[in-house]
Homo-oligomer: A and B are copies of this chain.
Amino acid sequence: MEIRNSRPLDSLYTTFDYIARNKDKAMPKSITRTYSRYTREACSLLGGLIRAARKEHKLTVQEVADRAGVSRGLLQRIEKGDLKCEIGVVFEVATIVGVQLFDTDESTLRKHIRQTEDKLALLPKSVRKKTRVVHDEF
């Protein structure tokens, strides 16, 4: 077998490690997610707002992708409302083209974060579910 890769040994070592680690592990199951209509439509709307904002700023898909440090294909998926993109990247792109998340500026955002932290501090640390069965057979 001829290896012409720029990092051939790394690849081989990784492969052998992979085999060694795998020898007695169980296989995980494949996942198919379901999304509510509201979720799908919210993502679709966010993508549409991003696309509209980008065009209003007369920016090319490639330009926005470059600014976000992201590939052109990924940005196109985001604008189509693809559900399986990193939320950080989607939010970053939205910020770049000027789509406000939460309809607030940065200082208001920070105020909301503080309010949420305060509210969380008042709530119980853990949620108790099962009320113990009362033994009253006496």
**Bound CA–CA A51/B45 (angstroms):** 24
Copies of this chain, count: 2
Q: Which residues of chain B have C-beta atoms less than 8 A from A95's C-beta?
A: 36, 38-39, 42
The size of the chain A interface, using a CB distance under 8 A, is 73
- From 1 to 46 in chain A, residues with beta carbon under 8 angstroms from any chain B beta carbon are 1-8, 11-12, 15, 18-20, 22-27, 31, 33-45
1/0 contact string of A84-117 vs chain B (CB within 8 Å)? 1111111110010000011100100110110011
A58 in contact (CB, < 8 A): yes
**Bound CA–CA A60/B95 (angstroms):** 33
CB of A63 to closest CB in B, whole Å: 8
**Bound CA–CA A127/B60 (angstroms):** 6
A18 touches B15 (CB 8 A): yes
What is the interface of chain A, defined by CB distance below 8 A to chain B? 1-8, 11-12, 15, 18-20, 22-27, 31, 33-45, 48-49, 51-52, 54-56, 58-60, 63, 69, 83-92, 95, 101-103, 106, 109-110, 112-113, 116-117, 119-120, 123-124, 127, 129
A5-B24, A5-B27, A7-B27 known, 20 other contacts, Cβ within 8 Å? A1-B20, A4-B23, A5-B23, A5-B26, A8-B23, A33-B69, A33-B88, A35-B91, A35-B92, A38-B101, A39-B91, A39-B92, A41-B113, A42-B95, A48-B113, A49-B116, A52-B123, A83-B86, A86-B86, A103-B103
